[in-house]
Structure 1
Amino acid sequence: MVDEATIVEEFVALARGKASALIDFLPAFEEAVTVPDTSTLVRTHFIAHDANGVPAVEKLAGAMAAATLDFCIPRSKIQRAVAELEETGSTAAIVSLQEQARDLFVKSESSGEGGELLLFLLMERVLQRPQLISKMALKTNTAMHVHGSDGIHASLADDGTLDVYWGESKLYKSSSDAFKECFDSIAPYLRPSGDSKRKQDLLLVRDHLNVTQIELAAHLLEYFDETNPKSLKARWNGVCLVGFDHDNYPNIAILDDAQRQAVSKAVGRWHKTVGSRLKEFDIVGVNIDLFCIPMPDVADLRARVLKRMGAK
C-alpha cells in the first residue's frame, strides 16, 4: 500500500535549488496581497542593489542562466550524466547537457523564454512547486517557441489534493501591456470551459512526466487518468510572472518614508490593474499566484541572460 506521507515528502523534494540564491537578488516589497474580490495573490519584488547603489541585474541574470540545465533538461538525463561523473570522474556528459540546454533557447533578445526561466526559478525555489514536465526538451526547432503554457508545476497536499499550476510569463516594456497579455494567455487554461486546453498539456505530462521515481510517477499519473477517482482530487490553478520597465528605479532596502509611500502607491495601482484584468478575462475565482516584478530595463535583462548562457 502506498504511504501517502512518503509520497508527499518525495514530491516536495523534487523542487531544486535554494530560495536564497534567487531572493537575495530579487527581494520582496512588503507582504503578499490578495487582490480584493479575487483569488489572486500578488507578490511584488524588485531587483536588489549592490554596494555601489546599482541594480544587480547582472547577478540576477547569472542566477537565471545557471538554472538553464534544470529548466530545459529532464531529470532522467541529468541523473545519467551525474552517474557518469561519479563513475568516470569526467564532467563531459554534464557539459554536453549544458550545451543542449543553451541551444534550446531561441537566439533572440526578444525571446519570451527568459521570463519562462525566471518563472521556473520562482516556482521551484520560492514556492517549492516542482516542474511536472520539461517542455523545452520537446522543442523540435530552436528558432520556435514551445506552444501551450509556459510551464506546468504542482504541489501535493497531505490530504491527497494535487494542485496543478499552469504558468505564464510576460516581460514587456509597458506594465499595462504585460498584465493584459499575461491574463489573456493564461485565461483559456483556467476557465471552466478550458478542458480542451488543459487536456493538450496534460497529454504531454502523461507522456513526458519529469519524475524518475517509479512509484511516485505512477501515483501522480493517477491524477491525470479520467477513469481514476483520484482525478477528482486534481485542482487547476495559475501562476504568473509579469515584468515591466519602471522609471526612477528604487532601492527598496534604503527607502525613506516618502519614497516607500510612493512605491506603495505604485504597487496599489498595479493591484487595481490586476483586478480589472481578472474581471475582463473572467478568472476572478481561480487561485492564481502572481509575481509582479518591475525592472530597470526588461530588454537589458533578456540580453544579459542570453550572454551569460553563451548564446550568440
Structure 2
Amino acid sequence: MPDEVADGRDDHMDGAAFARALATLLNTSGIDSVVNCCVHAGHDADWEGPRTGLLHVRFSEDIPRIADLAELLWAECMFYALPRRKQEKFRRDIAGGDMSAVARCHKAVRDLFIEFNARHPSRASELGEVLAYCLVQEHLGAAQVASKMSLKTAANMPVHGLDGIHALYENGSLTVYFLESKLSGTGRRGAASYASSAAEFLSDRRQYLREYEIVADLGNLDALEGEARQHALDHFDVIGNRAPQRRERFVGVICHSEPSHFGKRLAIRDDLPPDIHERGFAERYSADHGALRMFARKQLLKHGADPRKAVVFFVAVPDVRTLRKAFYAAMGVADRDLPLDGDDADIDDETDTVSEDRE
C-alpha cells in the first residue's frame, strides 16, 4: 500500500461534519435479530491479529432460523445493490404516496441479480456479499461507500475485485474497510480462501487504486453535498498529495457450515427456558475461537498479508448450501448449486477439524 500524506487540513469541525455526513450512509439492517454474536471481534492488547469474531444464526427454540436469515438478507439487497441516489428516489416516491414504487424497487434489485447471474453463471457470491454488508455496518459501524453489485452488471466493469468498500470516520481519522466474503463448507477452508484473496488484493496496486477510483467516481459519496462531499473526496484521493492519513483494514466474512455443533441437540424440556438450545450452541462454538483465529493468522502470514490489519468474522450455519438455496428462493429465482469457496484450498492439514489447534 502507498504511504499516505497528511497535510493538517483536517480540523475538528470539518472532521465532525464529515463524520456526520458519512453516518447518513449507514443502513441499520437488524441483522442481529437473526444472527447472534457469541465472540466479539474486539481489540486484544496481547494478540497481534487478526481481530476475530464468531457469529451464528439464531434459534427458534431448537431450530436454527435459516429461512428468516435468508429472507432478511434478500430484503437488505434493496440497500446493498442500489446506488444511494436511486434509493433516495424510491424513498421520495413512496413518501409522496406512490406505493407502486415498492414494486419497482423490488424489480430493479431482482433484475440486477438476474443480470449478474446471466453475465457470470459460474459465480454465486451474492449471499455472502449481502451478509458482509450487513455485518460490517452492525459490528464496525462502517457505511457502504460503493454499491459493487450495481457496478458489476456494467458492461465495462470487471466482475473481479472486492465484495464491498465501507468507511468510518471517528477520533479524527478515516478507516476504510475492504470486504471479502466467503461461503465455505468449513470455517478453515473459508479462512484459507479469504487469506489468499486478501494477499492477492494487497499485492495488486492497480486493483487497489481502481477500488478508490470507483468510490470517488461511481460510489455513494455523490449522495453527500457541499463541503462534506469534498471532504470525503479528499479522504479517498490516494494519488493527491493533500490526502489526509487513513487506516485500511481488510475484512473477511466467512459463512460456513457447522454440522458438528449444530448436530448436538439438547432434549426438549418444558421446565427449561427455550433459549437454552441457542445458548448451548454458542458455548460449544465459542470454544473454537482460539483455534479459528490462530488458523486465520497462520493463513494470512502464509500468503504475506498482515494479520494486524485484518478483521475476520466467522458465521456458522448448519449448512451453507441450504442457506444459499433459501436465499435464492426468497429472491424468486432458481437455486445455483455452485462450488463453495475454498473447496480446493490447501490448508496444510489432513483434516478440517479445529480441536488440535485450540489455545
Structure 2 length normalisation: TM-score?
0.76
Q: Does the residue aligned with 2:89 lie in a helix, a strand or coil?
A: helix
Question: Does residue 23 in structure 1 map to residue 45 in structure 2?
Answer: no
Find the counterpart in structure 2 of residue 235 from structure 1: 247
How far apart in 1 are the matches of 2:124 and 2:293?
Answer: 26
CA change 1:199–1:90 in 2 (3 A) is same
CA change 1:92–1:273 in 2 (3 A) is same
Higher alpha-carbon deviation: 282-291 or 199-208: 282-291
How far apart in 1 are the matches of 2:75 and 2:279?
Answer: 36
Deviations 1:227-253 (A, max 9, x none): 545424122211110121112316895
Question: Does residue 93 in structure 1 map to residue 106 in structure 2?
Answer: no
Question: Does residue 302 in structure 1 map to residue 324 in structure 2?
Answer: yes
> Quick check: 1:49–1:251 contact (8 Å CA) kept in 2?
no
> Quick check: 1:109–1:303 contact (8 Å CA) kept in 2?
no
Report the CA distance between 1:99 and its aligned residue: 1.3
Report the CA distance between 1:66 and its aligned residue: 0.7
Find the counterpart in structure 2 of residue 217 from structure 1: 229
Find the counterpart in structure 2 of residue 40 from structure 1: 50
Q: Does the residue aligned with 1:131 lie in a helix, a strand or coil?
A: strand
How far apart in 1 are the matches of 2:252 and 2:26?
Answer: 18
Deviations 1:43-70 (A, max 9, x none): 101111103x100111111111110110
Deviations 1:277-297 (A, max 9, x none): 121122235422211112100
CA change 1:256–1:136 in 2 (3 A) is closer
The code of the aligned residue for 1:304 comes to: A
Aligned match of 1:149 in 159, 162, 165?
162
Find the counterpart in structure 2 of residue 188 from structure 1: 200
> Quick check: 2:58–2:278 contact (8 Å CA) kept in 1?
no
Report the CA distance between 1:113 and its aligned residue: 1.4
> Quick check: 1:5–1:158 contact (8 Å CA) kept in 2?
no
Aligned match of 1:270 in 292, 305, 314?
292
Question: Does residue 292 in structure 1 map to residue 292 in structure 2?
Answer: no
> Quick check: 2:198–2:305 contact (8 Å CA) kept in 1?
no
Question: Does residue 4 in structure 1 map to residue 15 in structure 2?
Answer: yes
CA change 1:96–1:283 in 2 (3 A) is same
Question: Does residue 131 in structure 1 map to residue 144 in structure 2?
Answer: yes
The code of the aligned residue for 1:241 comes to: V
Find the counterpart in structure 2 of residue 103 from structure 1: 111
> Quick check: 1:129–1:155 contact (8 Å CA) kept in 2?
yes
Gapped regions of structure 2 (runs ≥ 5): 1-10, 267-274, 335-359
Report the CA distance between 1:224 and its aligned residue: 2.7
CA change 1:90–1:261 in 2 (3 A) is closer
Find the counterpart in structure 2 of residue 118 from structure 1: 131
How far apart in 2 are the matches of 1:13 and 1:256?
Answer: 34
Tell me which stretches of 4 or more aligned residues in structure 1 moved more than 3 Å: 30-37, 106-110, 226-230, 250-253, 255-265
CA change 1:176–1:227 in 2 (3 A) is closer
Find the counterpart in structure 1 of residue 78 from structure 2: 69
How far apart in 2 are the matches of 1:124 and 1:256?
Answer: 24
> Quick check: 2:259–2:318 contact (8 Å CA) kept in 1?
yes
CA change 1:50–1:3 in 2 (3 A) is same
Find the counterpart in structure 1 of residue 357 from structure 2: none
Report the CA distance between 1:110 and its aligned residue: 6.6
Aligned residues: CA RMSD:
2.9
> Quick check: 2:36–2:56 contact (8 Å CA) kept in 1?
yes
CA change 1:48–1:104 in 2 (3 A) is same
Higher alpha-carbon deviation: 264-273 or 163-172: 264-273
Q: Does the residue aligned with 1:46 lie in a helix, a strand or coil?
A: strand
Q: Does the residue aligned with 1:147 lie in a helix, a strand or coil?
A: coil
How far apart in 2 are the matches of 1:183 and 1:203?
Answer: 24
Report the CA distance between 1:259 and its aligned residue: 7.2
How far apart in 2 are the matches of 1:63 and 1:256?
Answer: 19
